[in-house]
Amino acid sequence: MERILVTGSNGQLGSELAVLASKYPQYEWVFADRSKITLDDLETLKIQLEEIHPNIILNCGAYTAVDKAETEKELAFKINHLAVELIAKYTFENNAKLIHISTDYVFDGTSSIALNEDEETNPVNVYGASKRAGEIACLKENPNSIIIRTSWVYSKFGNNFVKTMQRLMQERDGINVVNDQIGSPTYAADLAQAMIDIVESPKWIPGIYNYSNEGEISWYEFALSIKELGGYNCNVEGIPSASYPTPAKRPEFSLLNKKKIKTVYNLNIPNYKESLKKMFV
């Protein structure tokens, strides 16, 4: 029986994989939170990987506090770069499979068309730079890895934009949401299923893939969809990013082109609104 290790098991994606795992009893699933897999302590991480000895690693664990990363650069790089490097090295030396999750924040946001996997990267913040360093290290240490770049992840689990909007729209009469950052949301349950579909596939084609739900929207338009589906009375106004300064700069345009993953793995990716409805069921 193949053993699948899921890192970041308490996060949005790890939690959605845990929901799906019972449908795939042919695998031995190991869900590892920070106590089982210590991404910020490399010596301990090495020992933990040897002890668990997985055949497949779904690396969902990451440092994701985008603004905080600006002042915690060393920690962000340790988790998003050096730990990934070590995991990739382990999988290569032990002939194990690795699916590593990355981000649209590896791009600078100056494109105006959906981004392909081979588009030039140019992160505009520390988080994006740490994730890009992780991608490079991952493919260097294990060229047989699969990296999935995703964007705007939300879920019934954890903290995310959708849950924040649901709360604020019930608490306040009006809110402002940036309307000049364009991309597409990703329902973590859809991405979790896509990862399992890849593991289940008879073929394993390494490299970088993009995955998000279909649709091209701003955060403001996303908020309007949340308002509509939740039936909230809150007034939602669109504002430019300049009116809502944050410690970390965000890419203005980071819509991902999903043609490669749909073609190679024959995946059917739902429109963002279809998936968003599942949050309200």
Enumerate the active-site residues.
127
Bridge partners (DSSP) of residue 235 are 174
Among 258, 49, 11, 57, which Cα is nearest to 155's? 11
208/101 Cα distance (integer angstroms): 10
Please say whether the beta carbons of 41 and 47 come within 8 A.
no
**Phi, psi (deg, nearest 5) at residue 26:** -75, -10
SS3 string, the chain, reads CEEEEEECCCCHHHHHHHHHHCCCCCEEEEEECCCCCCCCCHHHHHHHHHHHCCCEEEECCCCCCCCHHHCCHHHHHHHHHHHHHHHHHHHHHCCCEEEEEEEHHHCCCCCCCCECCCCCCCCCCHHHHHHHHHHHHHHHHCCCCEEEEECCEECCCCCCHHHHHHHHHHHCCEEEEECCCEECCEEHHHHHHHHHHHHHCCCCCCEEEECCCECCEEHHHHHHHHHHHHCCCCEEEEECHHHCCCCCCCCCECCECCHHHHHHHCCCCCEHHHHHHHHCC
Q: Which two tokens stand for residue 11?
A: 């996060």
Q: Which two tokens stand for residue 55?
A: 């055949």
